[in-house]
Structure 1
């Protein structure tokens, strides 16, 4: 019995490490089997990966806000954001944009997405998403410097964006079939409902604990609380609409589309925080 339990623990440790090695460039010197079972278990830890990335990047943002002007801070944080994932999701966004906006047949779209070369639609999509993130980060840094905006808003914007976008990746993996055989989506296809449920429970637990700590330590800010509730709701609604549209275009989803949705949802959540704060300040 003890040997079985140790083996199960080892399998989940492998899955956690696989999630970090797959989704980030955080150096973890441990070899794990990237087989289908390990990848399926790894989805449990996707929100945790998002939280760790968010805390690292928002921590760097807090430090930069003390020593650099807002525009420089925004550029450096955006660069760190991209570097932390090795541009994995941004690459998926560019490939997806090149395919779905090509105006070709479904099969040709999928072929275009497999091509390592980047076309004009891919470049435009990447530039647009990066501009949205930069504009959002710059606004938050600027308001912090000019109006004394709490650093907790920056922490919420970045960490929540990164956690809920990765939560949606798992929901989309489990909800839509792969568009083609042999790709990354095929490796993740068929993940157990218990893994999806565990992943969602972990995301909600982390989020609610963070929200409770904020309320307890600060006395609470209703604007902050309402925005915290809006973020996962908007993530699910917009993510579902994008996934349905991609499924109609491609007949399913691919590894590239997971990355594309991650980028769009991250930018959406940053914009949601910015618009919310803007309306509060100018309402």
Structure 2
């Protein structure tokens, strides 16, 4: 397989629990390509969710169908980013010199669990209230693009691990490719406002986490993805797009 295809399969494996392409071998030279494909994989996952919603509306009332789609959203992504959200929140409730250690703990703390439950309720309510379900692919794409931009633009706090390897191999050319296709898809879906809002969320996260820690971690990437998704859903609900 070419590095391009291996990178795509790795991206699918990392961002979903789908049985296809279950590849977790971080071969040298493919990790940057995997990062490049993160937004595209998000777009494909969004298509899966929207297609499922269309099928469910033939059987169930829209509200029930929306909540099933939300549940599928959590399950198909393996709650990967939610775990990062919970760990990041735990890190915010301890002194910052202890935060990174707390975030690496495999067990979630009380604050992380409480905030995650509240967050899930808000997100489920947002999906249930969303009329423009056809824009779910764009929401998932742009949220993952914030992580891609953070990987490229901001320091990573560990010299080891998958995140450090991804940042090391992710080139400016690969970042530019992701910028181009994300921009094109945003224009095609008339959702340039969503792109702007996603970048605004990233800017706020960058300002906060750079000030607190001096960089990003994998958990913080997950936090940014989840927060961006919630914000974009509510932008759509209030009709700004």
Q: In 2, Cα distance between the equivalents of 1:29 and 1:188?
A: 19
Query: How do 1:47-196 and structure 2 match up within 5 A?
Result: 47-100=39-92, 102-106=93-97, 108-140=98-130, 153-156=132-135, 158-190=136-168, 191-196=170-175
User: Could you tell which deviates more after superposition, 259-268 or 123-132?
Assistant: 123-132
Q: Does 1:12 pair with 2:25?
A: no
Is this contact kept in 2: 1:90–1:126, CA < 8 A?
yes
- For normalisation by structure 1, the TM-score amounts to 0.79
How high is the TM-score relative to the length of structure 2?
Answer: 0.92
**SS of equivalent to 1:37:** coil
Could you tell me how far 1:32 is from its partner in structure 2? 6.4
Structure 1 position 168, deviation (Å) = 0.9
- Pairing of 1:255-266 with structure 2 (within 5 A): 255-266=218-229
What CA distance in whole angstroms lies between the structure 2 residues aligned with 1:263 and 1:31?
A: 24
Give the Cα separation in 2 of the matches to 1:268 and 1:165.
Answer: 10
Of residues 234, 245, 254, the one that matches 2:197 is: 234
Question: Which of 11, 33, 38 is equivalent to 2:30?
Answer: 38
Structure 2: how far apart are the matches of 1:201 and 1:111?
Answer: 37
Cα distance between partner residues in 1 of 2:143 and 2:23: 26
TM-superposed deviation, 1:206: 2.7
Q: Which deviates further from its counterpart, 188-197 or 64-73?
A: 64-73
In 2, Cα distance between the equivalents of 1:32 and 1:259? Answer: 18
Runs of 5+ in structure 1 lacking a partner?
1-8, 145-152, 212-224
Q: Does 2:20 align with 1:28?
A: yes
Moved over 4 A (4+): 29-32
Task: Provide Cα deviations, 1:37-57, integer angstroms capped at 9, x if missing partner.
Answer: 211121221121011100000
Aligned residues: 240
Show CA shifts across 1:140-183 (max 9, x none).
3xxx6xxxxxxxx2111x11110001111100011111122324
Distance 2:109 2:22 in 1: 36
Note the residue ranges of structure 2 that are not aligned, 5 or more in a row.
Answer: none
How far is the alpha carbon of 1:31 from its aligned partner? 4.5
**Does structure 1 retain, via aligned residues, the 8 Å contact 2:186–2:195?**
no
For the residues of structure 2 that align with 1:21 and 1:178, how far apart are their CA atoms? 22
CA contact (8 A) 1:183 1:254 kept: no
Greater helix content: 1
- For the pair shown, the structure with the greater C-alpha radius of gyration is 1
Q: How many Å apart are 1:63 and its aligned residue? A: 1.8
